[in-house]
Amino acid sequence: MMICPKIISKKRPLFTEPIFVVRPNLPSAEELSPLIAEMLKKRQVTNFGDFHNELEERIRRLCNVKYAVLCCNGTVGLFLLLRALGLKGKVVTTAFTFPATVHSVFMAGLEPVFCDIDPDGYTLDVDSVERSITKDTSCILGVNVFGNVCDVERLQALGKKHNIPVIYDSAHAFLCKYKNKYVGGFGYAEMFSFHATKLFTTIEGGVVTTNNRRLYVKLKQLINFGIKDEESVTGIGLNGKMSEINAIFGLLSFEQKDNILMKLARLSECYKKHLSAVPGIKLQKVREGCKINNQYMTIEVIPEEFGLTRDELYEALKEDNIITRKYFYPPAHKYECYRGFEFADKARLANTDTLSQRILCLPIYATLKIEDVKKICDLIVSIRDNSKKIRSRLKSRSSCRKNCV
Ligand SMILES: Cc1ncc(COP(=O)(O)O)c(C=O)c1O
């Protein structure tokens, strides 16, 4: 096999080790081991043990809601929430999201109806939601994208007008605040993810918060196989419980959260300071009154002004060992698995299409150094300044890969 000389002559990357888009926040072995020892001594490792119950209660209090239901992950939480609501028909939602949102709707036997998003804040465009509501609509499912809270007031009014529940996929939004209150009590219910990529983590896990007692009772059964009591199974549920080990990680996350939030805010400020004035880069507009958790650092790359597309910037950063993520690409109406379904094929979502081609998530996590953020920003600026040269290098490298290796 002949190796192309252009590949051999690749320049030395800015970072010798990869800088990933996210790294998990984990406790030390010293913090973990006494709690694990306590769990082993009690010999209760799952099925609503003490650690589970303590975590659930602490989250309930933090979010200032009447009920919280921990679950094995956010996807199962959202799926069972939709089932617990006993919905039929269509759910108005966004295609600018992670696959879990739309798959949960579909697997709950409901049909997603995609409406467009606000081009600046990326959450549901409420006018588009209103236009999408028909007599078959049974629910509005908003996504608090990158922690930015939806227009909860207008969505609530819309839900009331049409007598349908509004719920939120708040997978990104744990510890975000809106009007000085932690997110969690908006709409009928909210789901949060505690996946290892999230700043507050149980490794795998999530929670559903609600103020509705009937919904809570139903959901609590559905995450436990639909079992009502020892002699009756009243719901078609599954095993969605959170184990004690996962709950222990969550309790330790509670101890770390303020420190992590502070570190992420500093990193995010640094990114914003260095990137906000760069032509061709636009930052997410966070809703007034919303304080985000800075778990994501996203930029919108406007190709005509930046000189390169988002995908080219992604490749250029990768050459220097900076691993970014194209979020959300593809958008849900373009997934292969939904090809042939009218709700996907007929969706016309101008803002969603544009943003899914333009948004890039940059590295952000508590152990990332501020000096490295500065280096990443300087590199982005220099990539823009040399965009023509970089475009032609990327082109020749890609044709080289196809033809030579
Ligand atoms: C918007 C959104 N919804 C749902 C999920 C699923 O959460 P989990 O990974 O806890 O199942 C994710 C995961 O990151 C997400 O980004």
The more confidently predicted of residues 192 and 405 is 192
pLDDT at 2 over 80: no
Residue 304: burial class (beta carbons within 10 Å; 0-12, 13-18, 19+): exposed
Check pocket membership of 387 for ligand 1, CB cut-off 6 A.
no
In whole angstroms, what is the distance from residue 146 CA to residue 296 CA?
Answer: 6
Q: What is the pLDDT of residue 379?
A: 98
Read off φ and ψ for residue 69, nearest 5 degrees: -125, 110
The confidence band for 10, taking pLDDT boundaries of 50, 70 and 90, is low
CB 250 less than 6 A from any atom of ligand 1: no
Q: Is the pLDDT of residue 1 over 60?
A: no
Q: If you take atom 10 of ligand 1, which residue's CA is the nearest one?
A: 74
**First-to-last C-alpha distance (Å) of the chain:** 7
Instruction: Give pLDDT, residue 11.
Output: 73
**Fold of the domain spanning 257-396:** Aspartate Aminotransferase, domain 1 (3.90.1150)
Question: How far apart are the C-alpha atoms of 349 and 344, rounded to whole Å?
Answer: 10
**pLDDT, average across residues 359-374:** 98
Q: How many angstroms separate the CA atoms of 145 and 363, rounded?
A: 17
The atom number, within ligand 1, closest to the CA of 193 reads: 10
Q: Residue ranges per domain, the chain? A: 29-252, 257-396
Provide mean pLDDT across the span 16-44.
Answer: 97
70 lines ligand 1 (CB under 6 A): no
Each residue's pLDDT tens digit, 205-224: 999 999 999 999 999 999 99
Question: Is any ligand 1 atom within 6 A of the Cβ of residue 202?
Answer: no
Nearest CA to ligand 1 atom 16: 98
Radius of gyration of the chain (CA): 23
Q: Is the CB of 171 under 6 A from ligand 1?
A: yes
Poorest-pLDDT segment among 53-57, 254-258, 316-320, 397-401: 397-401
- Rounded to an integer, the average pLDDT of 61-65 is 98
Q: How far apart are CA 394 and CA 311, in angstroms?
A: 11
Q: Please choose, from the candidates 347, 296, 350, 355, the residue with its C-alpha nearest in 3D space to the C-alpha of residue 175.
A: 296
At 55 the three-state DSSP class reads helix
Instruction: Please tell me the predicted confidence (pLDDT) of residue 401.
Output: 67
Ligand 1 pocket residue status of 74, Cβ below 6 Å: yes
Q: Is 43 exposed, middle or buried (0-12, 13-18, 19+ CB in 10 A)?
A: exposed
CA–centroid distance, 381 to ligand 1, in Å, is 32
Q: Of 150, 195, 326, which is best to mutate to test ligand 1, by the most ligand atoms within 8 angstroms of its C-beta?
A: 195
**226 neighbors 234 (Cβ within 8 angstroms):** yes
Mean pLDDT of 172-186: 97
Q: Is the CB of 193 under 6 A from ligand 1?
A: yes
Report the alpha-carbon distance of residue 254 to residue 335 in Å, rounded: 36
Tens-place pLDDT, residues 351-361: 999 999 999 99
Q: How many CB atoms lie within 10 A of CB 177?
A: 16
Residues 6 or more apart in contact with residue 401 via CB below 8 angstroms? 4, 7
Question: Is there a common fold for 29-252 and 257-396?
Answer: no
For residues 42-52, average pLDDT: 98
Atom of ligand 1 nearest to the CA of 97: 1
Domain 29-252 adopts which CATH fold?
Aspartate Aminotransferase; domain 2 (3.40.640)
User: In testing the pocket of ligand 1, which one of 98, 104, 167, 328 has its CB within 8 Å of the most ligand atoms?
Assistant: 98
Given a contact cutoff of 8 angstroms between Cβ atoms, the answer to whether 318 and 398 are in contact is no
Q: pLDDT averaged over the chain? A: 96
Q: Report pLDDT for 8.
A: 44
Q: Is the pLDDT of residue 73 over 80?
A: yes
Residue 137, ligand 1, Cβ within 6 A: no
Q: Can you say how many angstroms the Cα of residue 159 is from the centroid of all Cα atoms in its chain?
A: 24
Q: Is the CB of 123 under 6 A from ligand 1?
A: no
Give the per-residue pLDDT at 135: 97
Calculate what percentage of the chain has a pLDDT beyond 90: 94
Do residues 177 and 183 lie in contact, with contact meaning Cβ atoms separated by under 8 Å?
Answer: yes
Residue 9 has pLDDT above 90, yes or no: no
How far is CA 343 from each of CA 94, 136, 333, rounded to the nearest angstrom?
A: 12, 13, 8
State in Å: Cα 329 to ligand 1 middle: 15
